[in-house]
Chains A and B, each alone.
Chain A
Amino acid sequence: MSFPTTPSQTVGPFFAIGLLWKGGPLAVSEDVPGAVRIQGTVYDGAGTPMIDALIETWQADPEGRLADLHGHGGPSELAGFRGFARCGCEEGDGSFEIRTAKPGALPGPDGSRQAPHIDVSVFARGMLHRCVTRIYFADEHAANASDPVLRSVPAERRHTLLAAPTDGGYRFDIHLQGLNETVFFAL
């Protein structure tokens, strides 16, 4: 027996009531050595920061371990690792900021290896369904060059998936439209 999926609807402008909580932006305990900050801004087609956007991230730990129901790869040794972060863009200048540990490499399709990456969902008013993208790290040249997903992206658009190193972390801006439109994925 098979049932169709319940349709998606927009998260609307008031998701903070139900979805934001203290500690939500932490994928790992704040004081873990080597934790990095990933900051960014979500831009609409007019280049305006979307201060009512919501970002969620999901990733493995540096050893490739996942904090899912079954704990794939075994329990993480990182304090407070949940691999998941959620951040609204409502505060301050309208950017998001999550704190996490840089993920390790993971197995990919057909025996390949995936470069370190973070899955990202973008939700907002005016978006009837989430948009899914991936954060890769600009300083992982060799791993990125052989990543099967990155290689499937047109070469001239790959840069939109690369987080740029900054002081204490990385910057990853998301553009829904425009010259630098971020690559979004069909799941």
Chain B
Amino acid sequence: MASDEVLGDTPTSYGREPAGTHPPLDYPPYKSTALRHPKQPLVYLPHTITEITGPQLSAERPIDEPDQDLTRQHEGEPLGERIILSGRVLDTEGKPLRDTLVEIWQANAAGRYAHRTDRWPAPLDPNFSGAGRCVTDEEGRYRFTTIKPGAYPWGNAENAWRPAHIHFSLLGRAFVQRLVTQMYFRGDGLLELDPIFNSAADPKARERMLSRLSPERSRAYWALAYEFDIYLRGPRATPLQEAH
């Protein structure tokens, strides 16, 4: 019968995440959460075949070189500080996830998004769209060339500013691994003021959202490099042997 057998290295169940792994959905310092969090208790969902599988978009959406180089998507080069951004996508056992889609989006160097509803009057950059896509290699590694995004004000409180960040979307291997997060830059003075970053209560959890300056990956007279590894949920059960 269809789907009765679990194939390949598909884990049959993923670990349940301890409370506090992710920020709470109800978090008053981030005002928009007030009307946007469920009030009823969540219902336990067993990990069935639907949850332990997930989409494979790498073949559906071929990646071109400009998708990984956000500085070469237009006639000219965008303004700002060019950076090389790379890292690995791993599970919580430290196993690299290959062939998985990594999507990023970000503001330009002036802190402005190329989106029609972003009204912050910083200049748009005609040479920067701010979106990139990449599929991880055998070692789970992704790599982008982009520019360092700027900070920008937002309406959460009077004179509130978001620290520079890059949005990351990870599909992983399974529906349960799906993650959307943000990557920040270590040493940014706005971090301690930012309710979104600080919604992760544990300092060690916040640490996992910080990229690391990587002198060894930087290219002389070209760009500084930053490293950012992402950990998705790992298996609870030992993977079954090849089923065929």
Q: Known: A130-B180, A177-B35. Is A17-B50 also a contact (CB below 8 A)?
A: no
Q: Which residues of B contact A21 (CB under 8 A)?
A: 61
Output the nearest chain A residue to B14 by Cβ-Cβ distance. A187
Contact between A128 and B33, CB atoms less than 8 A apart: yes
Asked whether A132 lies within 8 Å of B45 as measured between CB atoms, the reply is yes
Complex CA gap A98/B22 in Å reads: 28
Q: A185: nearest residue on chain B (CB-CB)?
A: B45
How many angstroms from the CA of A177 to the CA of B39 in the assembled complex?
A: 6
- A127 touching B94 by the CB < 8 A rule? no
| Minimum distance in angstroms from B186 CB to a CB of chain A | 15
With a CB–CB cut-off of 8 A, which chain A residues contact B48? 106-109, 114, 149
The answer to the question of B42 belonging to the interface, with a C-beta cut-off of 8 Å to chain A, is yes
Q: Indicate if the CB atoms of A14 and B118 lie closer than 8 Å.
A: yes
B86-111 to A contact mask, C-beta < 8 Å, 1/0: 00001011100001000111000000
A131 contact set on B, CB distance < 8 A: 25, 38
Q: CB-nearest residue of chain A relative to B169? A: A19
Does B123 have its Cβ within 8 Å of any Cβ on chain A?
A: no
| B37-50 interface bits toward A, Cβ cutoff 8 Å, 1 = contact, 0 = none | 11110111111111
Band of interface residues on B: 35 or more
Q: How far apart are the CA atoms of A79 and B25 in the complex, in Å?
A: 38
Given A64-B3, A119-B175, A181-B38, are A5 and B8 also a contact pair (CB < 8 Å)? no
Interface membership of A163, Cβ < 8 A: no
Closest beta carbon of chain B to A64's beta carbon, Å = 4
Kindly supply a per-residue 1/0 record for chain B positions 164-175, scoring 1 wherever the CB is within 8 Å of any chain A CB and 0 otherwise: 000101000111
Q: For chain B residues 193-244, which have a beta carbon within 8 Å of chain A?
A: 196-197, 199-200, 204-206, 208-209, 230-234
Residues in chain A near residue B132, CB distance under 8 A: 18
Collect the chain B residues with CB atoms within 8 Å of residue A63's CB: 2
Complex formed: what's the CA distance from A184 to B43 in Å? 6
Residue of B nearest to A127 (CB): B36
- Please give me the residue from chain B that is nearest to A128 by CB atom: B23
Q: Are the C-beta atoms of B231 and A5 separated by less than 8 Å?
A: yes
Q: Which residue of A lies closest to B204 (CB)?
A: A4
For residue B107, which residue of chain A has the nearest CB?
A: A14
CB distance from A97 to the nearest CB of B (A): 19
Once the chains bind, are A128 and B38 in contact (CB under 8 Å)? no
In the complex, A146 Cα to B227 Cα: how many Å?
Answer: 49
- Complex Cα distance, B25 from A126, in Å, reads 8
Of A16, A60, A69, which is in contact with the most chain B CB atoms at under 10 Å from its CB? A69
20 example contacts (A-B, Cβ-Cβ < 8 A) are as follows A3-B92, A8-B22, A8-B181, A9-B167, A14-B105, A14-B118, A17-B129, A59-B50, A65-B2, A107-B3, A107-B48, A109-B48, A119-B50, A121-B175, A148-B46, A176-B37, A177-B39, A181-B39, A184-B38, A185-B45
